[in-house]
Amino acid sequence: MAGAAPAWHLVRQLLWSIALMGSLTSTVFLGMVLFAAVRYAMTCRTQRQRVLGVPLWELPAVTILKPLHGREARLEENLESFFRQDYPEFAIVFGVRNYEDQALSVVDKLQAKYPQVPTRIVVSGEPSWPSAKVYSLSNMMASCAGQFLVISDSDVLVRPDFLRNVIPPLLNPKVGLVTCLYQGIPARGLWSQLDALGMSIEMPSGVLVAEMVDGMKFALGAAMAVRRDAIEAIGGIRETGYFYSDDFVLGNRIAGAGYEVVLSHYKVGHVLASRSLPRTLGDQLRWLKSTRFSRSLGHVGSGLTYAVPFGLLALLLGLGHSNHLRAGLELFLMAWLNRMLLALAVGWGIMRDRRSLWLCWLYLLRDLLGFGVWVASFSGKTFFWRGETYQFGNEGRITPEQRPVSLPN
């Protein structure tokens, strides 16, 4: 028993050191985010002026590629927002695995409602590549000959001026891809609200800092405008067919080929379905496992950007020792204020998400849950995605367990 006291004292000191270090690193991260947010806001002002300065007659024809998989929540509203684009000339190509896909009934309804919009449905059959989405995209791209493409997920909602804002930068042949930040649009329920806050605050914070530190060398899959010659320069869309994070890889490969990747001033909406807490955390875990395998060092370092877990640790240690109670309470309040400021500066200041104003005090819970998912991401390499079970491998490559694959050459 005599040796237990010194041992516990050492453990307590170690835990205090961890709490102090995490409080420091999360504060440094907040400072970087605030600086990056100001920098991005200034860039957006200039970019918006340039985009709107391009006359309508110079805007090229565009093909929108929409991979579909089932009838998701608010699918009709999401797809209709692309039919309603205020743009001179565009077409939409939808991709499904088979004619039994329930999403096709929504497409049929919108085709009848907007007969002036050229559309095409491409049925790719069962995928032979690891990524079913990229396999579908490859077939969709083969069906159209346009130079300017937009790749967008089925759960994305845009305003009628979307194409008008994201296409003009591609008129510069040095720009290969334009990508957009996205705001979370929640369904009913606390967990969906927290998930949406993460999309509107945590995700753009990381993107803005990464763009500031290392330049834009990746893309966000919600909405990407891309030149076909840039895709061909990397060997075609099949080069991303190994990966779950195909959007990140596409942007990274295009940047590596010498093209510029532009982070647009324009933001789109990412519509969430009503889901249970396990389902919500499972989706977040899948994303974090992907970064663990594809960008391992960055993934490890991201654990130090969370604030609330370290503040909470300090508070618990303070409650267990009266001499440290004030310090523990101060560190916890500092962490809470840290996350509130992050929510206000990014969620409202950059993303204009009103929920970030009246839920900024609740963002500490999202930060704590995010840290728990980050810890869980270090266990295992299996994940479930759109009805299939996959295994993560080196560099974030994926292998489905239920079907054979023929890797693209």
Q: Pick the range with the lowest mean pLDDT from 59-73, 109-123, 363-377, 382-396.
A: 382-396
Which residue matches tokens 């050191």?
17
Taking 60 as the threshold, does the pLDDT of residue 98 lie above it?
yes
CA–chain centroid gap for 25, Å, is 23
* pLDDT of 4: 58
Q: How confident is the model at residue 293 (pLDDT cuts 50, 70, 90)?
A: confident
Tell me the pLDDT tens digit for each residue of 53-85: 999 999 999 999 999 988 888 899 999 999 999
- What are the structural domain ranges in the chain? 14-37+295-390, 46-275
* pLDDT of 5: 60
* pLDDT of 380: 85
* pLDDT of 8: 66
Average pLDDT, the chain: 91
The reported pTM is: 0.92
Beta strand pairing call for 260-271 and 90-96 = unpaired
3-state helix/strand/coil string of the chain: CCCHHHHHHHHHHHHHHHHHHHHHHHHHHHHHHHHHHHHHHHHHHHHHHHHHCCCHHHCCCEEEEEECCCCCCCHHHHHHHHHCCCCCCEEEEEEECCCCCCHHHHHHHHHHHCCCCCEEEEECCCCCCCCHHHHHHHHHHHCCCCCEEEEECCCEECCCCHHHHHCHHHHCCCEEEEEEEEEEECCCCHHHHHHHHHHHHHHHHHHHHHHHHHCCCCCCCCEEEEEHHHHHHCCCHHHHCCECCHHHHHHHHHHHCCCEEEEEEEEEEEECCCCCHHHHHHHHHHHHHHHHHHCHHHHHHHHHHCCHHHHHHHHHHHHCCHHHHHHHHHHHHHHHHHHHHHHHHHHHCCCCCCHHHHCHHHHHHHHHHHHHHHHHCCCCCEEEECCEEEEECHHHEEEECCCCCCCCC
* pLDDT of 50: 93
Tell me the pLDDT tens digit for each residue of 128-160: 899 999 999 999 999 998 899 999 999 999 999
Pick one of 3.90.550.10, 1.20.1540.10, 2.40.50.140, 3.90.1010.10 as the CATH number of 46-275: 3.90.550.10
Tell me the pLDDT tens digit for each residue of 215-251: 999 999 999 999 999 999 999 999 899 999 999 999 9
Pick the more confident residue, 321 or 319. Answer: 319
* pLDDT of 85: 97
Taking 80 as the threshold, does the pLDDT of residue 320 lie above it?
no
Q: Pick the range with the lowest mean pLDDT from 5-9, 47-51, 90-94, 139-143.
A: 5-9
